[in-house]
Chains A and B, each alone.
Chain A
Amino acid sequence: MSSPVTESAPMPARPLPVRYRSTKVRRQRVRAAWYFLAPMLVTLTMVAGWPLLRTLYFSFTDASLSDMGDTLFIGLENYLVYDDGRWFGVLADPVWWRAVWNTAYFSVVSVSLEVMFGVIVALVLNAEFKGRTLVRAAVLIPWAIPTIVSAQMWAWMLNDQFGIINHLLMTFGIIESPIAWTADASYSMWAVIMVDVWKATPFVALLVLAALQMLPKDCYEAAEVDGIHPVRVFFKVTLPLITPALMVAVIFRLLDALRVFDVIYVLTSNSTSTMSMSIYARQQLVEFQDVGYGSAASTLLFLIIALATVAYLYLGRKQLQLGGE
């Protein structure tokens, strides 16, 4: 009870004796933490856990939208089954894999663009100029408009016959004949990405702006006195210091993008060239009435997002540890 105290106290690397870990105060704190977490956990179980389990259950059945009561358990057949010399199921459907690829492509490209533009916009908003409070509020407008509304707005602007974008481009002689932005497979993905970037950049910008305003101002003055070029200061000082905020922005946006539905559905409906995983699942579930098959797709979507999140958090923590300590 006496000697190890002085020995182990200054060395946090060595595991602490048990009695440090479970003191009375600590037990009380843990209990208090559970009390505070309990309502949240109960709510989550009801609104997230239950639907998730139901979906998982349906994915193993042949449930259909018209007859939900009379379902048969069919195991993994919705996912993959070998029958009559051919493979069936979601995992054997090229359209599903196309949707996976589309979603990944959309997520990576749009989130990268949003982060890039978001940082630029935040840097501009962080500068001192007249009326910047007004500009800050104005920049948020795309984020404040419901996606359905803004997507519809863009759908009209991008309309091949009456859209203002084609009109403008033709007036300035940049294109000769109207382009079917949302229908032409070679443009539609980019149209979708552009609308998403337009909408989500303000969100990233705001998160980054908050981080920028927390930065130590005197460090910048020190850099100024030392005569360090602003670009170098940005990459060597600003960027490392806002990385945690950027990581938060990226994970939010990534989760959003991986389950993207509304922008794509409004702009291009069920077109395969832009179909995302969510759109695929909805099509199976609602249009083809196949709840079992649609649930299987939804479950896979959930697994992919969960995996991406875990991988991202793991890599992020690893990188922070390397850079931070």
Chain B
Amino acid sequence: MASVTLDRINKVFGNTHIIKDVDLAIGAGEFVVFVGPSGCGKSTLLRLIAGLESISDGELTIGDQVVNELPPRERGVGMVFQSYALYPHMTVYENMAFGLKLAKTAKETVHERVMSTARILQLGELLERKPKALSGGQRQRVAMGRAMAREPRILLFDEPLSNLDASLRVQMRNEIARLHKRLGSTMIYVTHDQVEAMTLADKIVVLNGGRVEQVGTPQELYQRPATRFVAGFIGSPTMNFLPARLLGADAEGCRVDAAGLAELALPQDASGHAQGDGLTLGIRPEHLRLTAAQGSEGFEIVNVEYLGNEVYVYLEPKQGDTLLIQRSEAPSPWSIGQRVALDPDPEHVHLFDADDRALPAKAARAAA
């Protein structure tokens, strides 16, 4: 168990700048998840921490030691690879024991450690098997066991569940969460699956194009996304975005006019912006309320998806072609072809400026 601190970390491959000025503080025993779209540098950042890539600029601290120049083995990290990286010619037991033997650990200790790890991960019956005789989930557990058996200060996971099917993923997700509670070690976990991120993390780091977009608890990211990117990335189905115009700012907040909606009074502080400025209004599918529209006003319902416990209603605006999504509990009174007006709840409306940064809510500031 150890803390990890990244101070203005940069990574350049050739002449492509992949990781840009990443600052991050990870507490001892924390479960931190890196999320972001494919190619944003999640794996690279993880490999920088592991020591598999060299840091171009910045300072990486583990515990209270600067580890920039330390080889992986001296950093006290264990890593679970996306492809598992099991040694194909060794049995499960040998795979787990291989990394232990070198540390001049006594034979009995090696055996004990392997056996207790195997017990935790329920690998008992598989110890004599070769990796190719294991299912995906079993291989995944062996890969975790191999990393854990060394009792590293920090466990790194690079998309460990991405090769598994949906139900196994849910099961393994739970096992990893339980494991973290039980071991209490610092864990850094890379995924592009936001459900994994939301369910596992103490703290989520959203990466985009090599930069940190936002760091926070799952609730913070969901309820107060700092940028439009985070707002769109977290949450499924994704947040609806509408072009809007600032009508005026006042002590309570601001008034905006969004395409297809009635004028809205919102609690956001728009004091830095001029009247008439273009903004983006964001609202989550579950925060949209639909009311019957008069005449040809509002939105047309183009599709209704029934999912059993809930219903997604797809709305087509008069101009533009991005559909809006409304989510509600089943059953829904709406059907295809009806025209509806939107009645957003001002408490749950997000506003983003031209630079895609969220406008802070006045109420939230007062409450803080």
Contact = CB atoms under 8 A, between A and B. Distances in A.
Nearest to B86: A219
B57 to A, nearest CB: 23
Interface in A202-261: 216, 218-219, 221-229, 232, 236-237, 240-241
Contacts of A236: 98
Given A216-B88, A240-B89, A241-B88, A225 B79 contact: yes
A222 B85 contact: yes
B136 to A, nearest CB: 16
Contacts of B85: 216, 218-219, 221-222
Given A218-B81, A221-B81, A222-B81, A227 B99 contact: yes
Name the prevailing secondary structure of the B interface residues. Answer: loop
Given A221-B52, A240-B89, A241-B89, A228 B83 contact: no
Contacts of A227: 71-74, 99, 102-103
Interface string A282-325: 00000000000000000000000000000000000000000111
A325 B129 CA distance: 9
Contacts of A218: 81, 83, 85
Contacts of B103: 227
Contact of B99 (A226, A240, A241, A325): A226
Given A218-B85, A219-B85, A240-B89, A229 B72 contact: no
Residue of A216, A240, A325 most packed against chain B (CB within 10 A): A216
B351 interface: no
Contact of B102 (A216, A225, A232): A232
B87 interface: yes
- Which of B74, B89, B102 has the most CB atoms of chain A within a 10 A radius of its CB? B89
Given A218-B81, A229-B102, A224 B72 contact: yes
Contacts of A232: 102
B83 A225 contact: no
Contacts of B150: 226
Contacts of A240: 89
Give the one of B79, B87, B99, B150 with max A CB within 10 A: B87
Contacts of B79: 221-222, 225
Contacts of B51: 225
A225 B98 contact: no
Nearest to B158: A218
Contacts of A241: 88-89
A228 B87 CA distance: 13
A224 B74 contact: no
B197 interface: no
Nearest to A224: B72
Interface string B55-89: 00000000000000001111001110101011111
B358 interface: no
A191 B111 CA distance: 52
B201 interface: no
B89 A225 contact: no
A237 B94 CA distance: 11
Q: Which of A223, A227, A228, A325 has the largest number of chain B CB atoms within 10 A?
A: A227
B73 A225 contact: yes
B359 interface: no
A229 B98 CA distance: 11
Contacts of A226: 73, 78, 98-99, 102, 146, 150
A325 B132 CA distance: 10
Nearest to A229: B102
Interface string B281-309: 00000000000000000000000000000
Nearest to A218: B85
A225 B78 CA distance: 7
A236 B95 CA distance: 11
Interface string B87-108: 1110000000011001100000
Contacts of A229: 102
Contacts of B83: 216, 218
A202 B296 CA distance: 80
A228 B52 contact: no
Nearest to A226: B99
B279 interface: no
Given A224-B52, A226-B98, 10 more contacts: A216-B83, A216-B85, A218-B81, A218-B85, A219-B85, A222-B85, A227-B72, A227-B73, A237-B89, A241-B88
In the A-B complex, list the 10 residue pairs whose CB atoms are closest, starting with the nearest.
A227-B73, A226-B99, A218-B85, A222-B85, A225-B72, A225-B79, A240-B89, A218-B81, A219-B85, A224-B72
Interface of A: 216, 218-219, 221-229, 232, 236-237, 240-241, 323-325
18 contacts: A218-B83, A219-B86, A219-B88, A221-B52, A223-B99, A224-B52, A225-B51, A225-B72, A225-B73, A225-B77, A225-B78, A226-B98, A226-B102, A227-B72, A227-B99, A227-B102, A236-B98, A237-B87
